[in-house]
Amino acid sequence: MGVAEEEIEAMEAAEADNSLIEIWPENLDSLRLFLGVMTQWRRDTSSGLPTGLDYAGVQAGLKMMRRHVSKRAFEDLQVLESAYVAETRKVAKADQDRQAEIARMGGAR
């Protein structure tokens, strides 16, 4: 199971934006944790969109990385997880709406 097409498009759009974001030092460890387990998504079987992290996979990944995670870092991971799922669904919905509009216009681009 690879990365869904919608996620790739969202990442490419974000990269093309060329805007920088500031990561506060106190959030860096949580961001690194999130990026380290980004492959451990549970996905909706029909849409392929992420529904949340597979915590067993996250735990296995952390064990392989020999990382201990504090309660705060795990809570931060859950916040990032929730935001990622919501944003991915928002992007997918916008894409569906755009495709529907194209279809209504007779397929013209």
**Distance in angstroms between the alpha carbons of the first and the last residue of the chain:** 31
3-state helix, strand, coil split of the chain in percent (to 5) is 65, 5, 30
* In the predicted structure, residue 1 carries a pLDDT above the cut 60: no
Please tell me the predicted confidence (pLDDT) of residue 40: 95
pLDDT of residue 66: 92
For residues 66 and 109, the answer to whether their CB atoms sit within 8 Å is no
| pLDDT attached to residue 104 | 87
CA distance 89 to 91: 5
pLDDT of residue 5: 77
Measure the CA–CA gap between 2 and 60, rounded to whole angstroms.
Answer: 18
Question: In Å, how far from its chain's centre is CA 43?
Answer: 11
DSSP structure class, residue 47 = T
Indicate the pLDDT class of residue 108, thresholds 50, 70 and 90.
low
Torsion, Cα of 76, 35, 45, 55 (10° steps): -50
| Rounded average pLDDT over 14-35 | 82
User: What's the pTM?
Assistant: 0.72
Phi and psi for 78 in degrees, rounded to 5?
-65, -35
